[in-house]
Structure 1
């Protein structure tokens, strides 16, 4: 097993990571969202060419997340458009065309006023990031880390259901985006000034 490499600054940041309690939403891989079930959120596994994915860490509370969020009127009901917009706002990320992976069924509907809804998961190529700025919607200023998908699941605290979701994302990214199924294990913080990522082989 290869050694996971990271800087002292990342070690200090990861030492403050706090995981949200799991919601237990059932994962529906590859299934279309049923007609009549509203899609309220879209979140993405954004893949660098070496197979790592973008995770966001809020340094104030230690919460880790994938880029994404709620659909807004300007998204026109398109989860892919919502993901691209949210990734740009939260992480200043530029992404390729999103791939639909499936959805999480939220029976309680905490994102939909107490009514059932779907929370879509997608995968996309991470093409680059711009200079780091606070999210205009929340004011949160995220730290942007590239980590292996398996470590992302651990940081997110998603357990076995999260691993199933990660496997679906990796399989789709390997098939359609050309990324390796075994990711680089190095934990890397993307530079505050932004960067462009090379194309996948």
Structure 2
């Protein structure tokens, strides 16, 4: 493996990363969400053409996340629509058609008032991003980093279950989005003024 390259500014940001405790939700790759199990959240592995994925860092608390969040009424129960909306709000990202990967089974239901629910994971092409701006829903102003999927798992603090999820995402992205199986290892921040990464989804 080659040396991972990044700027001193990114080094400072990564030095402040704080990982959430692993939730332990079972990962159900490729399985449809069972009838009657509500889908409450949708997050996405958003792939640049070079195989890196978009990760968001909250500079105030150091928490790293993938783009995504809770389904809202305007999403009409569609996890893909929720992902596209959340990616736009959180990261000003434009994405291609989301592809279903599987779901995490949340038995405790912290996102569903204490009742069991599903947290869907999807993959999509990252087409570009607009100028960096705060999330209108939360006010958080995320830093937008492109990193290799394995490093994303490390930054997220997801351990072995996260690696399984990342492998599923890479397999789908390689097959359907045309990204390389081995990503560029450079850590790069999206330009604050926005950028175009791909013309196709």
CA–CA distance in structure 2, aligned partners of residues 41 and 130 of structure 1: 24
**Which TM-score applies when normalising by structure 1?**
0.99
Structure 1 segments, 4+ long, off by >4 Å, are none
CA–CA distance in structure 2, aligned partners of residues 63 and 106 of structure 1: 21
CA–CA distance in structure 2, aligned partners of residues 197 and 127 of structure 1: 5
Q: 1:195 and 2:195 equivalent?
A: yes
- Show CA shifts across 1:42-68 (max 9, x none): 000000000000000000000000000
Consecutive unaligned residues in structure 2, runs of 5 or more: none
User: What aligned pairs does 1:1-201 form with structure 2 within 5 A after superposition?
Assistant: 1-199=1-199
Consecutive unaligned residues in structure 1, runs of 5 or more: none
RMSD over aligned CA atoms reads: 0.7
Contact map agreement 2:107 2:115 (CA 8 A) in 1 = yes
Aligned to 1:119, the other structure's residue is in SS state strand
**Which TM-score applies when normalising by structure 2?**
0.99
CA–CA distance in structure 2, aligned partners of residues 199 and 179 of structure 1: 14
Q: How far is the alpha carbon of 1:150 from its aligned partner?
A: 0.1
CA–CA distance in structure 2, aligned partners of residues 190 and 98 of structure 1: 21
Q: How far is the alpha carbon of 1:74 from its aligned partner?
A: 0.0
